Amino acid sequence: MLVLLFIVFAGLAVGCAVSMVAQRNPLYGAISLIGVFISLACLYVTLAAPFIAAVQVIVYAGAIMVLVVFVIMLLNVEEEERLPLRLRSLIPIAVGLAAILFAEAAFIIFFVQASPATPTRNISDAGLTASIGAGLFTTYLLPFEITSILLLMAIVGAIALARRGGLLPQDAVVVPGAQVLARDVLDPLAPPEAPPIVAHTTTEVERQLGLEDVRHLVDDE
């Protein structure tokens, strides 16, 4: 029964992975990648690691890939043209790395698993939620906290980088007719009692936000 499930989900995972690389439409590639993540989660369940499986679906399939799909939809990316391969010199290196990967897999299958020191039955409860939680908050507390600080830094850094320059993109167009915008939509730092912005064009909005100088600075660069 387990073998059958393994064959089904492993096949799905490999198939989706191949399809992800082969698809020329980025959205189809993203959908294939979601398929890979979900098949992997199912494999984790058959390996008695339900917590990892759930987290795999929630974090990768449910959050990260939604962002990827979101960006593809926003940018409306067209199908990719098949360009002549520029980095031809990298092919031998890729082949070498792939060979090492296969050798590792073969080593595990033929030597590690055959060794009498490897437990043959699933005797550990490492995949269970309780043991993962206990491990994270006792033995591995420091790495856990460092990881969270690292992620926080990444978030703050991304915002700091993205906020440089004007708040509105250069080619943003405000639809003709007076627009009334709550000030905190465009400027999160505005005090709550600041009056709303009434404007006809993007330039007017920027003038009211005091962003003209910033744009000039960006233009000069």
Partner 1 sequence: MEDLKHLVLLMTGILVAFTVVMTMVAYTVLAERRVLGFIQGRLGPNRVGPGGLLQPLADLIKFIFKEDIVPDKSTRFVYFLAPVIATVAALMSIVVYPFGPDIHLPFIDKTIQLVVARFDIALLYVLGVTSVGVYGIALAGWSSNNKYSLMGGLRSSAQMMSYELALGLGLIGVILQSGTLDLYSIVEQQAGHLGISGWNMFWVQPLGFLIYLIAAIAETNRVPFDLPEAETELVAGFHTEYSAMKFALFFLAEYVNMFTVSMLATTLFLGGWNGPFVHQLPWLGVFYFLGKVILFLFLYIWLRGTLPRFRFDQLMSFGWKFLVPVAIINIVITATIQWTGFFDLVGKYLKVSTGWWG
CB of 10 to partner 1, least distance (A): 20
- For residue 19, the surrounding DSSP H or E stretch is helix 2-22
Handedness of CA 15, 16, 21, 26 (dihedral sign): positive
Measured CA to CA, the distance from residue 30 to residue 21 in angstroms comes to: 10
Nearer to partner 1, 66 or 95 (CB): 66
- For residue 10, the surrounding DSSP H or E stretch is helix 2-22
- For residue 197, the surrounding DSSP H or E stretch is strand 197-199
Nearer to partner 1, 168 or 215 (CB): 168
Nearer to partner 1, 64 or 218 (CB): 64
Q: How many helices (H) and strands (E) does the chain have?
A: 10, 2
CB of 127 to partner 1, least distance (A): 10
Measured CA to CA, the distance from residue 104 to residue 97 in angstroms comes to: 11
CB of 133 to partner 1, least distance (A): 10
CB of 22 to partner 1, least distance (A): 15
CB of 146 to partner 1, least distance (A): 21
Q: Where are the alpha helices (DSSP H) in 49-179?
A: 50-55, 65-75, 91-107, 129-137, 141-162
Nearer to partner 1, 10 or 45 (CB): 45
Nearer to partner 1, 190 or 215 (CB): 190
- Report whether 167 contacts 186 (CB < 8 A): yes
Task: Report the interface residues with partner 1, using CB under 8 A.
Answer: 1, 27-28, 31, 34, 38, 41, 50-51, 53-55, 57-58, 61-63, 66-67, 69-70, 73-74, 128-129, 182, 184-185
